[in-house]
Structure 1
């Protein structure tokens, strides 16, 4: 039976085995397994969704300073930041809004119940084992928010073997310094990992025309742990946590807005998996997430926005017959708000029932999903998705899908004093997609064509001076992604062409560039490796009226590493080599040329 729980990611997720040269006889085709697209463990070649996997090997090779360094320029992905290092960050998947991308951490739903978006800027790259990016609607599986797609982050994990220590220390431009240590291992019955990291930087001046000229710093201390214990009868108990806290500073320029924030960003999950029969597994899990901020102005307390989410998920994975699999479950969560702002309501619940059906019919593969949500605020919503795949020949697979999705209004949309509107309806969407994937030996290529129609988009009505369901949008696009990997060369390239239009005005959606591209290329020379990334973006507009233009730009980042000894490695990177001035949000500075060095230890 195909395992469908998150344990599958722990047991099966693995980096691709790479041949030395493309025509090596013993080249292996073992591929990375993903579980986010349909909750079913499938290789990327098998899935009927557009998926990108970033594993731990790639994370260390790219040497990111921020989590968004891993995402920017990927197929269908675009980011915008109110400056660098811990500042407010938006992630646009296929041209949809930032709060239309669901962030999961080890299966835990993340995001602020007040603002709606996830706190991407607080995710620590050093605590991440792998990232799964699924583009396209997934509301029929995960519920609200997944209109544009899902990004699932898996924290560092342990595997069978004696405990092995890893550690790192680094620093660089802007008085950046970081350090961390961890241990991971396992026995026949128990896998475990525990790690701690700290990142701090003086940062850069966020805005030239606002506030002071001082640098606006950031620090983040993170703890991550995962454990799984299996009994002789196959029952497995599991738990995981990712906890981050710190401080980020920014320019205020006003006596009515803060200039510093203390944050907490956390995900916890625990539960049990039970093999009921040979063909039926059941899982019960409890989860908890926090997105909290205490805000200060010139050192004095200013405001608080703390949101917490408690979750429960009961899932059943059933093999009906050979190559026929069903997932059926019920989940529920409650959002709670604690704030110095007086919201009319400070809590609401959502209960959902979902099912996924997967059928293999020789060269054909069918998948369908259906979900019903009952929300305390807006009532019920039903969403569904249907996908079909055809294995045209051994390396080439075609796919097509259609799906609906929705996004629930946030507490700010509904209840914020002055402009909240409790009569708002959820935003809804319909998406059509055609795609193809070619994979053979060390090569792969993937192309997808899609259209998303968004209705009931929530926007601010200046006449009524409150949030309203006013806008409609149509988003069309083409995504191309390809790669090549051997033990000496690793490359990956992506290109996204996007037409994101507000149907009411004919304007482009704000901060969505018509063209984005990325190329990563690395070369291994025994102990020494060199590489680089080129990230390019065309012009876009900062505002809905398309009056404020954001210029296009291209960045070159270079990196190198040297294996000093089997357990020791030194890394160095230079970002924005040509010292380009650019903005992803109008008026917010981005770093110029910057260099960083890191020393790693990994016990063998």
Structure 2
């Protein structure tokens, strides 16, 4: 089934949209850039949290000018991005050396990912529809349930605003036959805010693998719709809803050679002030991760996941510095596929609580969660954390937490391959950190150790290749992140040192570089802004036996922007300035590298009504 109806409607709608733009006063300056909610499900400043947190706001996203969402994540503290080629190809985002499916992706609080493969479709997230990204490193299973062994990344879609409607639009293109365009409108009243935006990205791409499959370029297109609305009633109850919908196609070498995808989340709910110190939120959401595969234009297979999720959260202030967050979340995964799974659905119900308290210079936090899973029964996880404001600028923290990852449908039920007796993967993490923040500068340092037991590995058992619980991993790491704004300059840097080993063999875990880093530097010069990003990645191994070595590399990206007037601007980006050849993943079975782009240039014209 080709999904073209939405794409056609959006492209037709983009053309006349600017004609309806109206004059409007300047918007209020945002003051919540340093507030995050992912660590505990309630709002905290970054300086208050007892976790290792990175915030990427809309201003930074626009400054970086990413062509792919993973451009925003690459090289951040604790993160390593591995793609089987650029532009919509299968992508893993390793957090703190754990597996990619140990890294939970949330979109506006809703769990995303495939129930069959277990991983999230990072490659399909449209950067133009994203308001803010919150990265929380370290286990969060005691709050969010399965998958959050390495941590959580939460994506927030574009926000509405108060005031008359304001229109926005962009048009761009560049190397590899890349084309993109979009339009949006945001506005509201004292009680209502809304935003609706649409975007389209397409590229001819590059030939993903040399000497395997065809020699043609492997393209990608993505058409996305994002919407968010909230309305506050006279009695204080707030109604809210949000949508992120993406569809398109991505090509690659092999059989099949094309996937038509649908990646979507829809959520609605209400927030109720029960008492002065007690707020509750109730929400229903559905996420979908669907793919239809084709070989030489002929239908090949379908793997569709639908997840229905119901959440109930309560925020209770017990004292001046004591808060209780408690709730229930339940979800059901359903699989629809041309593959005949032994089971095609399962449910999970989780009950959790977080207690935060402070006395003097000290803060304490504890969380506990019970998950009841239809497949493997009950699982209890917990976490404790301590923090101390050592000086006005220096804050210390330490934490210990347990987590787990439920086996996927493929691992449990895939015909001829699945193992229904698998146990969840389990972990323990100990972390010590410090954050120094003064004026316009900060430095955050964290040292951690994670031990993962019951790791699932594919092995030959009784003449059958199947997943079993055998491996154990020990991961140690050091993360350093810092930033400084001084006059017209804005600098941000991160460094990750990682020792990720298979405890049974002593080998490094595959595709985890021991050293990686990132440095961003931007400067405002009148109506111009100039900037660049340096990405560095050490060598790694493509296989668990450490026989296929992937060389390290360094990349330089440059960018510039010019404000034509208060509403119009033009942006130019040059990626991989020195045209480096580099590889982050290899297809061992076909003995072919997954290619990455050489030097590339992109230009974009942006309009924002003010």
TM-score (norm: length of structure 1): 0.94
Are 1:600 and 2:596 an aligned pair?
no
Distance 1:321 1:72 in 2: 41
Match of 1:551 in 2: 551
Distance 2:319 2:394 in 1: 26
Displaced runs of 4 or more, over 2 A: 14-17
SS in 2 for 1:99: helix
Per-residue displacement from partner, 1:421-454 (whole Å, max 9, x unpaired)?
0000000000000000000001100000000000
Match of 2:25 in 1: none
How far residue 15 of structure 1 moved from its aligned partner, in angstroms, is: 8.2
How far residue 485 of structure 1 moved from its aligned partner, in angstroms, is: 1.3
CA contact (8 A) 2:575 2:601 kept: yes
Distance 2:517 2:461 in 1: 39
Distance 1:163 1:550 in 2: 51
Match of 1:27 in 2: none
Per-residue displacement from partner, 1:555-603 (whole Å, max 9, x unpaired)?
0000000000100000000000000000111110000000000000000
Match of 1:49 in 2: 51
Task: Summarize the alignment of residues 575-586 of structure 1 with structure 2, pairs less than 5 Å apart.
Answer: 575-586=575-586
Match of 2:279 in 1: 281
Task: Summarize the alignment of residues 30-429 of structure 1 with structure 2, pairs less than 5 Å apart.
Answer: 32-252=34-254, 257-429=255-427
How far residue 46 of structure 1 moved from its aligned partner, in angstroms, is: 0.8
How far residue 361 of structure 1 moved from its aligned partner, in angstroms, is: 1.1
How far residue 40 of structure 1 moved from its aligned partner, in angstroms, is: 2.3
The change in CA–CA distance for 1:93 and 1:408 in structure 2 (over 3 A counts) is same
Distance 1:43 1:473 in 2: 33
Are 1:525 and 2:525 an aligned pair?
yes
CA contact (8 A) 1:16 1:32 kept: no
Deviates more, 1:378-387 or 1:358-367: 358-367
Are 1:462 and 2:460 an aligned pair?
yes
How far residue 362 of structure 1 moved from its aligned partner, in angstroms, is: 1.9
SS in 1 for 2:564: strand
Are 1:540 and 2:549 an aligned pair?
no
- In structure 2, stretches of 5+ residues that fail to align are 1-27, 587-592
CA contact (8 A) 1:15 1:32 kept: no
The change in CA–CA distance for 1:127 and 1:89 in structure 2 (over 3 A counts) is same
CA contact (8 A) 2:327 2:352 kept: yes
SS in 1 for 2:71: helix
Distance 2:30 2:72 in 1: 18
How far residue 503 of structure 1 moved from its aligned partner, in angstroms, is: 0.5
TM-score (norm: length of structure 2): 0.93
SS in 1 for 2:187: strand
Distance 2:442 2:355 in 1: 27
The change in CA–CA distance for 1:584 and 1:300 in structure 2 (over 3 A counts) is same
CA-atom RMSD, angstroms?
A: 1.0
How far residue 177 of structure 1 moved from its aligned partner, in angstroms, is: 0.3
Per-residue displacement from partner, 1:96-120 (whole Å, max 9, x unpaired)?
0000000000011000000000000
Pairs aligned (count): 575
Pick from 579, 595, 607 the counterpart of residue 589 of structure 1.
Answer: 595
Distance 1:321 1:282 in 2: 17
Per-residue displacement from partner, 1:472-511 (whole Å, max 9, x unpaired)?
0000000000100145111100000000000011000000
Distance 1:271 1:327 in 2: 18
Distance 1:530 1:493 in 2: 17
Are 1:488 and 2:494 an aligned pair?
no
Distance 2:420 2:606 in 1: 52
Distance 1:428 1:62 in 2: 37
How far residue 463 of structure 1 moved from its aligned partner, in angstroms, is: 3.5
Distance 1:121 1:433 in 2: 30
CA contact (8 A) 2:33 2:57 kept: no
The change in CA–CA distance for 1:181 and 1:406 in structure 2 (over 3 A counts) is same
How far residue 88 of structure 1 moved from its aligned partner, in angstroms, is: 0.1
Distance 2:313 2:396 in 1: 30
CA contact (8 A) 2:365 2:386 kept: yes
